[in-house]
Structure 1
């Protein structure tokens, strides 16, 4: 089994899926918007992370997600702007389009 490469990314959105999994929307500079299923614990929003996934279907299997650096601490209007930007990225980007 070959190891999937780690990509710099941000978790944009997540929601529960089945008993112990989550559906996540990830933004990667190298690959654009990636949608996947993740079983491990999520890093906080606005936290840079390294993510690896596999699969050829539109819904990837997230095999690794490691937080890197410090999370961005947003408050007030900056927090609302961050949430709004995340929603825009999720809704306007095509999957895997940079």
Structure 2
């Protein structure tokens, strides 16, 4: 049994999930796994910052009443947006952009 330190989760929407699957299909399984670990850790970090009253990581932008935070994954060609749902103790990743050089 693993301890659940904050109970916060990262929920990956279908469009972001398709990008993660594309990484796997392109043979970039290590990158995909790294991004998934990053998103799990981010959920815990966001939960901690929200409960302590601090601003969450990322550049905030409000679209149709929902505040999204834009984040670049340091040292990886990945950008994404997430929103926060404290009542459900989760963040939702909607847009995930993977920039792969050809």
Fold match by TM threshold 0.5? no
Higher relative contact order (Cα pairs below 8 Å, separated by 6+ residues) = 2
Which has the larger share of strand?
Answer: 1
Which has the larger share of helix?
Answer: 2
Could you state the TM-score of these two structures normalised by the residue count of structure 2?
0.28
Select the structure of larger CA radius of gyration.
2
